[in-house]
Structure 1
């Protein structure tokens, strides 16, 4: 079995300090998100926000591992796969959070029904995730040079799909909010149907300060994801010996730092504290 050096695997020697800082930062976010999910009884955040933070922490843990064992292919593969996969979990949380916002403000302003909305965006997100996973495992399963080169191309396709999902999701949010503020429903709800969880409430909810804060936090997170995905597209489009692939500072800023800001933003502006429940929110006509 060949012995690799960090220069051969990464194109540089990964910074131990940088990796350690990110492991601690993402690890703390993971612990916070786990505690918050349990404390607010929002278990769905365990498989989305908490899992995203865990994947980021273990991904940077792989880079930290590489600083001690530069020849470890396991460490290199761990950091590469986990850092690529983590944002998909964050997107799942984003979809659910905005779905809860629509549940409060009124689902009639959404072009899609709640079930359709959830299916469409989660399926599109899953498609990008499958392509990223497939592109990652293909070079391990196939030995021919042609198929080895196909792996990064499939991952690139997955990142393109992820970018399309982010843009479509942001566009959907904007369209919904414009319709809400203009009181222009996209469709009519059947008589007697009200928002799930608020059966005795009017079809149009009040856009409270907490909901506005949650929406702004969601917007910030999506901006971070958008910039991060653009960076990854540039990186994957670069040649194996290109400057972007071998630039650790770019990875730290445009991937690590942006994902850290997004996750910690949702620690501070947590949906458990900002989204109402049937017990805490009495909806009234806007």
Structure 2
């Protein structure tokens, strides 16, 4: 028995979410008294670095058929690594990719599927996992009664644990048998300099901006702060901004040091994705906006006056 962690990569590079998933898997393996392994697919980085986060063996799969996203082939590749490692617990980060693959793995392995895990397991016999519910307004505990368990963790919720040493990298041959079922037509890539899940400062805006033509002032504020830009779900749904910038329960979960929300009312679905922010600043013309209750600092005012004034003040301060 062992724990296997699926380590995602972005253009062949490992990111914060990769190390967070590895850390969770390693802590779980320690509780179970077994080894923690990982599987990487088409990774250009030195995968042995995962040993620093508690991984004993890294199974590296290279396949041109996995270069374009295909859920079924990815699940098949992970299953191959699971059989090789003897894994009975599989861990994934709850990213868009992870959310698509986890149910397929559960079917492959006839396994229990526990999503939205927000803490290390309470117990291991049976495996008891805490997960978020009701837009982070409550929590429930799931127990896995199946022989195999698939656990999907909430990104940016569990932290990173560092160890010493390197993981052993083993190349794993893989030839997919699953036919092509999806053709990738277009990839909507985030245009920010820093990926949202890793950004220390995020400037986000909602329908209060009244239209996509007014987004320039948000980008200017983000530029002077060295921040990434984000948006609320309605803004993404109306195609004012790309879906890759949507933060919230059904979008990206973030935990920056500073989150500035401009013209966002603060629905619980949005708060679920940003509640991990260390400091929240809300700018809204409506003093009754629900977001103010979650804010560390609030400005009641016209965003079209407040944001440019704030940007200019920061420029002057940085020029001193």
TM-score using structure 2 length = 0.19
Q: Which is strand-richer, 1 or 2? A: 2
Q: Which is helix-richer, 1 or 2? A: 1
TM-score using structure 1 length = 0.21
